[in-house]
């Protein structure tokens, strides 16, 4: 165990020391559905939330718990909830606050899967997501009404790679009782949204936190810094009696356990009822990835910056998209909210449109051609013909995807090999 605030130590020591019966140092995979109660009193205390403990793996499990504690500590939060995917994390993060008839204000700059969830599935369930341009933070205030339950954004959204104005939007929401939920998938370690006023973080663990590309998972982290009861009519899910839990009012019921009303509700209501739990096996895989996350993020950043510089000097490249060459307000935000580097993503545009983009992708030898990001291996995709192909040309333009745009997720291979592969593929275009 550790009280350290340093990421390199947290990822190895927080939340677990060794197994009490066997002494095992690696976090064991507790591959069990159920946990035996000590006696009937113990069982009823657990069910009444008078004591926290393991009941059933759909709701909690010691392997998941070690992972949750480590990610919560990394973000400076008080508690976390691991779920089966990043998509489940985004859905739960909003469903924990917004009901039919409510709304959420979200940045337009989102991962496509999140966009679909917000624009279609949540809408069909009665929750309206209002999309606003994040370059002007006041857009969030303008879209707010008395049914707005949360603000939502990504720290480092691709393809534009414009860092979100975290503090500016958090400051608009807080006096109104509206929390800012940040998807920090693309910038773990590099950005700590809670330090800038965000209330909740979500992650796709599938990306950098895993890094190995073996498992799908998600995480919701509670900062513990948001007063859910300050404007009680704003957050009915946490301030009104919950019929499905003996009339518990979450802001009151869990007070003795700490400022964890939000994350407890997500666990004991949403996980209980919707069941998107991560398997102990996958939680174990994420613990393995997490152990090297600080080291890997440094390498991702270093290699991506070198790639951005190389591409900037190439005569077939018309534009490089990377925070290092942004200017004005965008650069200020990148430098305010990220430290230790600008992340592992780099975009660039080629003269010659779609044909050139596709030819480039087909000419790569070492890069993998996949839709994923954040793997230890370098990855590439041509969004106009794949991830963004269902969008109209106008929509593609609005999201920052031009015909010749290529997205790179730079891995941790030797930088010379990364650049050599890009160089030979550019020569073939
Ligand atoms: N958020 C971001 C920023 C992502 O890039 C992704 C996946 O690509 C997700 C959420 C969804 O995560 P998952 O694929 O683990 O469901």
What atom of ligand 1 comes closest to residue 218's alpha carbon?
Answer: 15
Report the distance separating Cα 169 and Cα 138, nearest Å. 8
Instruction: Indicate if 326 and 208 belong to the same structural domain.
Output: no
Conformation bin of residue 189: beta by default, left when phi > 0, alpha when psi is -120 to 50: left
114-155 pLDDT, tens per residue?
999 999 999 999 999 999 999 999 999 999 999 999 999 999
Counting DSSP H helices and E strands in the chain, the numbers are 18, 12
Looking at residue 367, its pLDDT comes to 98
Number of domains in the chain: 2
Name residues whose C-beta falls within 8 Å of residue 346's C-beta, 6 or more positions apart in sequence: 304, 307, 308, 311, 320, 321, 322, 407, 408, 410
Cα(229) to ligand 1 centroid in Å equals 31
Cβ-contact 111, 183 below 8 angstroms: yes
Residue 223 has pLDDT above 80, yes or no: yes
CATH number for the domain that contains residue 81: 3.40.640.10
Cα 26 from chain centre: 25
Instruction: Indicate if 175 and 275 belong to the same structural domain.
Output: yes
Residue 391 has pLDDT above 80, yes or no: no
189-213 pLDDT, tens per residue?
999 999 999 999 999 999 999 999 9
Average pLDDT for 221-242: 98
Q: Which residue's C-alpha comes closest to atom 11 of ligand 1? A: 86
Residue 412 has pLDDT above 80, yes or no: yes
42-70 pLDDT, tens per residue?
999 998 888 889 999 999 999 999 999 99
* Last-in-domain residue among 288, 313, 333: 288
Angle between helices 62-75 and 280-290 (to 10 degrees): 40
Top mutation candidate among 86, 109, 114, 279 for ligand 1, by most atoms within 8 Å of CB: 86
**Residue 167: which of 130, 194, 196 has the closest Cα?**
196
Looking at residue 229, its pLDDT comes to 97
Name residues whose C-beta falls within 8 Å of residue 271's C-beta, 6 or more positions apart in sequence: 58, 59, 81, 83, 92, 277
| Tokens coding 371 | 């839709």
Answer yes or no: is the C-beta of 183 below 6 A from any ligand 1 atom: yes
Instruction: Indicate if 145 and 202 belong to the same structural domain.
Output: yes
Residue 400 has pLDDT above 90, yes or no: no
Looking at residue 389, its pLDDT comes to 83
143-194 pLDDT, tens per residue?
999 999 999 999 999 999 999 999 999 999 999 999 999 999 999 999 999 9
Q: Which residue's C-alpha comes closest to atom 5 of ligand 1? A: 111
Cβ-contact 189, 73 below 8 angstroms: no
312-325 pLDDT, tens per residue?
999 999 999 999 99
Mean pLDDT across the chain: 96
Residue 399 has pLDDT above 80, yes or no: no
Answer yes or no: is the C-beta of 87 below 6 A from any ligand 1 atom: yes
Looking at residue 298, its pLDDT comes to 98
Residue 395 has pLDDT above 80, yes or no: no
pLDDT band at residue 271 under the 50/70/90 scheme? very high
CB atoms within 10 A of CB 83: 30
Residue 3 has pLDDT above 90, yes or no: no
Cα distances (angstroms) measured from residue 118 to each of 94, 100, 234, 348: 10, 13, 20, 28
90-102 pLDDT, tens per residue?
999 999 999 999 9
pLDDT band at residue 401 under the 50/70/90 scheme? confident
In a domain, 345, yes or no: yes
Instruction: Indicate if 254 and 380 belong to the same structural domain.
Output: no
Report the distance separating Cα 1 and Cα 70, nearest Å. 11
In a domain, 173, yes or no: yes
Domain that holds residue 208: 7-288
Answer yes or no: is the C-beta of 159 below 6 A from any ligand 1 atom: no
Instruction: Indicate if 127 and 30 belong to the same structural domain.
Output: yes
Instruction: Indicate if 392 and 280 belong to the same structural domain.
Output: no
Answer yes or no: is the C-beta of 158 below 6 A from any ligand 1 atom: no
Report the distance separating Cα 404 and Cα 90, nearest Å. 30
Cα(348) to ligand 1 centroid in Å equals 21
What atom of ligand 1 comes closest to residue 110's alpha carbon?
Answer: 3
Q: Give me the DSSP letters along 88-118.
A: HHHHHHHHTT--TT-EEEEES---HHHHHII
In a domain, 32, yes or no: yes
Looking at residue 335, its pLDDT comes to 98
**Residue 188: which of 78, 74, 302 has the closest Cα?**
74
Instruction: Indicate if 32 and 71 belong to the same structural domain.
Output: yes
Looking at residue 49, its pLDDT comes to 86
In a domain, 229, yes or no: yes
φ, ψ for residue 30, nearest 5 deg:
-80, 80
Looking at residue 388, its pLDDT comes to 83
Looking at residue 2, its pLDDT comes to 82
Average pLDDT for 299-320: 97
348-387 pLDDT, tens per residue?
999 888 899 999 999 999 999 999 999 999 999 999 888 8
Instruction: Indicate if 207 and 105 belong to the same structural domain.
Output: yes
Report the distance separating Cα 406 and Cα 169, nearest Å. 30
Instruction: Indicate if 233 and 309 belong to the same structural domain.
Output: no
* Last-in-domain residue among 257, 288, 319: 288
Cα(249) to ligand 1 centroid in Å equals 32
């Amino acid at each position: 165990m550790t009280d350290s605030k340093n990421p390199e130590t947290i990822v190895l020591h927080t939340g677990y020391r060794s197994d009490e019966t066997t002494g095992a140092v690696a976090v064991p995979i507790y591959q069990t559905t159920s946990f035996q109660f000590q006696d009937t009193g113990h069982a009823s205390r657990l069910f009444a939330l008078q004591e926290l403990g393991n009941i059933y793996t759909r709701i909690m499990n010691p392997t998941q718990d070690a992972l949750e504690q480590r990610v919560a500590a990394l973000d400076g939060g008080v508690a976390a909830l691991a779920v089966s995917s990043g998509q489940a994390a985004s859905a739960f993060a909003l469903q924990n606050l917004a009901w039919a008839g409510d709304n959420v204000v979200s940045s337009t700059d989102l991962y496509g899967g999140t966009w679909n969830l917000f624009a279609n599935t949540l809408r069909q369930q009665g929750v309206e997501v209002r999309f606003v341009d994040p370059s002007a933070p006041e857009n969030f205030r303008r879209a707010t009404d008395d049914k707005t339950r949360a603000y939502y954004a990504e720290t480092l959204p691709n393809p534009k790679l414009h860092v979100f104005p975290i503090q500016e939007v958090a400051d608009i929401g807080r006096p109104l009782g509206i929390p800012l939920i940040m998807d920090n998938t693309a910038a773990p370690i590099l950005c700590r949204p809670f330090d800038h006023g965000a209330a909740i973080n979500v992650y796709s663990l599938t990306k950098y936190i895993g890094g190995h590309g073996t498992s799908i998972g998600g995480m919701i982290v509670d900062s513990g810094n948001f007063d859910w009861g300050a404007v009680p009519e704003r957050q009915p899910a946490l301030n009104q009696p919950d019929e499905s839990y003996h009339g518990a009012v979450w802001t009151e019921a869990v007070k003795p356990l700490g400022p964890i009303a939000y994350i407890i509700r997500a666990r004991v209501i949403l996980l209980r009822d919707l069941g998107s739990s991560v398997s102990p096996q996958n939680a174990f895989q994420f613990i393995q990835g997490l152990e090297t996350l600080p080291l890997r993020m440094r390498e991702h950043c270093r290699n991506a910056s070198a790639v951005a510089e190389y591409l900037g000097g190439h005569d077939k490249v018309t534009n490089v998209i990377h925070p290092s060459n942004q200017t004005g307000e965008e650069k200020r935000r990148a430098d305010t909210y990220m430290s230790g580097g600008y992340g592992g993503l780099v975009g660039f545009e080629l003269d010659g449109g779609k044909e050139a983009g596709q030819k480039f992708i087909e000419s790569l030898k070492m890069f993998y051609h996949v839709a994923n990001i954040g793997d230890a291996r370098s990855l590439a995709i041509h969004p106009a013909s794949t991830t963004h192909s269902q969008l109209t040309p106008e929509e593609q333009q609005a999201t920052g995807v031009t015909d010749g745009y290529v997205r790179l997720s730079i891995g941790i291979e030797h930088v010379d090999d990364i650049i050599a592969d890009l160089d030979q593929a550019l020569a073939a275009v």
